Chain A
Amino acid sequence: MISILKSLWYVFLHMFRKRVTVQYPEEKNYLPPRWRGRIVLTRDPDGEERCVACYLCAVACPVDCIALDAAEADDGRRYPDFFRINFSRCIYCGYCEEACPTYAIQLIPDFEMAEYDRQNMVYEKEHLLINGEGKYHGYNFYKYAGLEIKGKAKGEGIDEEKPIDPKSLMP
């Protein structure tokens, strides 16, 4: 009986506590910098698309919400012909970002993606692609990779050794 009255009193005292509610649209909650939200496709420091359409993100995605098709430009660079993410299926796990070898696909701290029409949750490449480098600066995949593109022959990449001629006997 006493305990009942006591709990009534303690609950009553909660009236004078600080509210825990965050009045959302006016007051924003703190989002950690590594918050996994909306996905963007970034560009390398030279302003070219970073994505090389390797399909690794699409394979890593546990809910199969990434669709893309590879294409190759005249200079030898690969790029996605289309790149589509269905955000109504995405679970924001970040596996795609981990799988990506070129830092192209990145999750940013933005979660305000509500739509009235479900179809609008499907983002195409033009919605995903941003004009910057995102979270990882200064990385350009083709500068490191041993792939030959126009303007860069084999062995000219950073930290890359000259190709060995297997038919020669010289060291």
Chain B
Amino acid sequence: MSETLQHIVIVFGILFGLLTLAAGLIWIERRLLALWQNRYGPNRVGPFGIFIVLADMIKIFFKEDWIPPFADKKVFVIAPTIIMLTVLLSWAIVPVAPGVVVLDLHIGILFFLAISSIGIYSTVLAGWASNNKYSLLGGMRMSAQMFSYEVFMGLSLMGVVIMAGSFNLSDIVNAQENMWFVLPQFLGFVIFFIAGLAESHRLPFDMPEAESELIAGFHSEYSGMKFGMFFVGEYVGVTLISAMIVTLFFGGWHGPVLPPFVWFFLKMMFFICLFILLRAALPRPRYDQLLSYGWKILLPLALLNILVTGAIVLAIE
């Protein structure tokens, strides 16, 4: 009984923490972007402007939730829920601290890859259902982008799996007790980082929404809370990728002195800030550039990484 209760507490704790973090990221991102552009960002509402999040939420809840008459209604409504569902589902397998994980799957990484790929449907369907040329282009770009990164995303993680000897994320974290996998698997880390950026379609890989040429692309027809769901989905996606990087390459909750959860959180925040810095600093490539980059450079590198890692692990054994 108490174990069930504990589990329920963990589930709702992670869910609540995640949604709070996703909302807080609106503020964090705006403040950090401003910081790197010599501005202040929102600093009026509440201490350091943090209540701008509440103001934004109130505003977005009261916005008219408009469905364009030319849209494919059912798909249009379903699309934003998919991204929310998939990112939250993927979070289920991330171990936040020893034993604090919603779903301790023995095929954790495969589950993560599978579910996060389904998230792409959200973007593609949104672009399709909006029945709008720009949105459709955004959706198409998303599928092209998926072709380019999905291949080496999975492969870049296999080095970690070989070294840890398990697909289970808790096992992988435990295997990094003495050494973070980022050292032997640096290549894998870089490739996964790039793939993760493309997965969460954040700048510089935000071709599907490209404000400057596609006027927000796949979600240009969305308003009110549906638009908000895309945004929350994007932010939870960012935390998800950061959390995955931390668990797979940076020793998860391991760290001296501070409690495990705090270490996990600090490392994750570091990568979230890095994501935002990338957004502040880099321009957006063309999507065919990403395609050829992915297939011609990153895929061979990922394969090479697996080959070498496998050979070394075999030789040591």
Contacts and interface: CB of A to CB of B under 8 A. Distances in A.
A8 B278 contact: yes
A23 B277 contact: no
Contacts of B282: 4, 7-8
B39 interface: yes
Contact of A8 (B35, B37, B40, B277): B277
A9 to B, nearest CB: 9
A119 interface: no
Contact of B39 (A7, A10, A12, A19): A19
A12 B35 CA distance: 9
A57 to B, nearest CB: 39
A15 interface: yes
Contacts of A20: 38-39
Contact of A23 (B40, B280, B281): B40
Interface string A105-141: 0000000000000000000000000000000000000
Contacts of A4: 282
A18 B38 CA distance: 7
A11 B36 contact: yes
Contacts of A23: 40
A20 B282 CA distance: 21
Contacts, number: 32
Nearest to B32: A15
B36 A12 contact: yes
Interface in B148-207: none
B40 A7 contact: no
Contacts of A10: 281
A14 B36 CA distance: 5
Q: How large is the interface on B (under 10, 10 to 19, 20 to 34, 35 or more residues)?
A: 10 to 19
Contact of B38 (A7, A8, A17): A17
A19 B278 contact: no
Interface residues of A, number: 14
A21 B40 CA distance: 7
Interface string A1-38: 00010011011101101111101000000000000000
A11 B204 CA distance: 14
Nearest to A10: B281
Contacts of A7: 281-282
Of B36, B39, B280, the most chain A CB neighbours within 10 A belong to B36
Contact of A15 (B36, B40, B278): B36
A142 B282 CA distance: 66
Contacts of B37: 14
B281 A11 contact: yes
Nearest to B41: A21
A14 to B, nearest CB: 5
A19 B34 CA distance: 9
B39 A8 contact: no
A21 B39 CA distance: 6
Nearest to A20: B38
Contacts of B278: 8
B189 to A, nearest CB: 15
Nearest to B279: A11
Contacts of B36: 11-12, 14-15
Interface of A: 4, 7-8, 10-12, 14-15, 17-21, 23
Interface of B: 35-40, 277-278, 280-282
13 contacts: A7-B281, A7-B282, A8-B277, A8-B281, A12-B36, A14-B37, A15-B35, A17-B38, A19-B40, A20-B38, A21-B38, A21-B39, A21-B40
Given A8-B281, A12-B277, 9 more contacts: A4-B282, A8-B282, A11-B280, A12-B281, A15-B36, A19-B38, A19-B39, A21-B38, A21-B39
